[in-house]
Amino acid sequence: MKELNVIISGGGTGGHIYPAISIADEIKSRYPLADILFVGAKDRMEMTKVPEAGYPIEGLWISGIDRKFSLRNLAFPLKLVSSLVKANQILGYFKPHVVIGTGGFASGPLLKMANNKKIPTLIQEQNSYPGITNRMLGKEANVICTAYENLERYFPAEKIRVTGNPVRQDITNIDQKREEAREFYGTKSGKKTLLVLGGSLGARKINKLIEANLAYFERNEVQVIWQTGSLYYDDYKKFDTETIKTYAFLNRMDLAYAAADVIISRAGAGTVSELCIVGKPVLFIPSPNVAEDHQLKNAMSIVSKKAAFMIKEDDLLGEFEDTITLMLENREVQEELSENIKKLARPMATAAIVDEIEKFIKV
């Protein structure tokens, strides 16, 4: 078999990068001789995360447009032209059999030029509300792999394949890791454990919420595994006790999920997909500080199926205690949420996406 050349482009956030790496790993497992190149945006996190995963990456001089007026927007046309030229050069020398876009502004110039050259392209859309880059590229892509149903408003229906989002495979058997998780995180059996996820950087409102309810957790004998995020850890590490465990970052997410009885989380697309597989009762607190409020839409797609609860940041003060008490103490609610969210899981998403790629690559 001839060597397979693949370009994967996307980035800006972990939600675009980690699915891209998962797809690359699955391609490598099927085609060990495949040559895979990533293309991202200069000075963004993919420029370090992708090489750490073992893949080369080229950077484009590109960024998004600020929604509010900014002098940086004046440079956007120049950045766009520069990125289109470099994308064309990359396609010329690398000669990919397929180009994969996982979202973010970095993928725009590359997939646009690939479409112009009639190189097969695949888009992987993580969110229930697609970003503007993927919406623009969808008309010319060969296939669009989505995590959510009912996206025909944004993409041609005949091109959509509902595959789910790529997720880490070590979370698929967490029921067998309960004792290991307790030992790793120092939690005790017989007490409820709450896992709090605010993302790798952290969520200020969620951290303030947990701080304000420390007395409630102590009074109700609730153990907390609290990911404060790297930006806030120094402010909250002082609250670390035998029952309140504070972490800047959780290195063993599989064990954190295994230890948890109830989970509080943001609603990024990758996290939502993981939580469907984990199958624990979830309270979503979506970030309002994201493009087109897509976290709210992600959360609502789960809540509408009676598979999770959600509280908006502005409503936390009035609704949190009653909601979390219900989730921690009501067995029927716990079982209903767990059963319903598990129905939405797609643990074989990565394999399904690469199956789609194999249908139109020619090597």
Strand, helix or coil for residue 183: helix
Across 38-47, 133-142, 269-278, 328-337, the highest mean pLDDT is recorded for 328-337
pTM of the model: 0.83
**Residue whose entry in the numeric block shows the structure tokens 């998780």:** 181
pLDDT band at 1 (very low <50, low <70, confident <90, very high): very low
Stretch among 48-52, 270-274, 356-360 having the lowest mean pLDDT: 48-52
Mean pLDDT of the chain, nearest integer: 89
What is the average per-residue pLDDT within 51-67? 77
**What token pair was written down for 81?**
């032209």
pLDDT at 102 over 60: yes
SS3 of the chain: helix, strand, coil, percent, to 5: 50, 15, 35
Q: Is 187 annotated as a binding residue?
A: no
The answer to whether 14 is annotated as binding is yes
Band of pLDDT at residue 340, cut at 50, 70 and 90: very high
Residue 289 CA to residue 292 CA, distance in Å, equals: 9
> What is the reported pLDDT for 85?
78
The mean per-residue pLDDT over the stretch 18-33 comes to 92
pLDDT of amino acid 84: 75
Reported as a pLDDT band with limits 50, 70 and 90, residue 68 is: low
Over residues 337-356, mean pLDDT: 95
Does 268 appear as a known binding residue? no
Determine whether the annotation assigns residue 295 to a binding site.
yes
Copy the structure tokens of residue 152.
Answer: 């025909």
Lowest mean pLDDT among 21-25, 40-44, 170-174, 241-245: 40-44
Please compute the mean of the pLDDT values over residues 32-50 and round it to a whole number.
86
What gap in Å lies between CA 298 and CA 281, rounded to an integer?
Answer: 16
- Of 2 and 161, more confident: 161
Structure tokens at 118: 């009639």
Q: How confident is the model at residue 58 (pLDDT cuts 50, 70, 90)?
A: confident
What is the rounded average pLDDT of the residues 190-209? 90
74, pLDDT greater than 60: no
Count how many residues are written for the chain: 363
- DSSP conformation class of 2: P
Per-residue pLDDT at 167: 85
Question: Binding site annotation covers 220?
Answer: no
pLDDT digits (tens, 9 = 90+) for 267-324: 988 899 999 999 999 999 999 887 678 899 999 999 999 999 999 999 999 999 999 9
Strands (DSSP E) contained in 130-221 are 143-146, 160-162, 192-197
- What domains lie within the chain, and their CATH numbers? 5-167+347-358 (3.40.50.2000), 169-342 (3.40.50.2000)
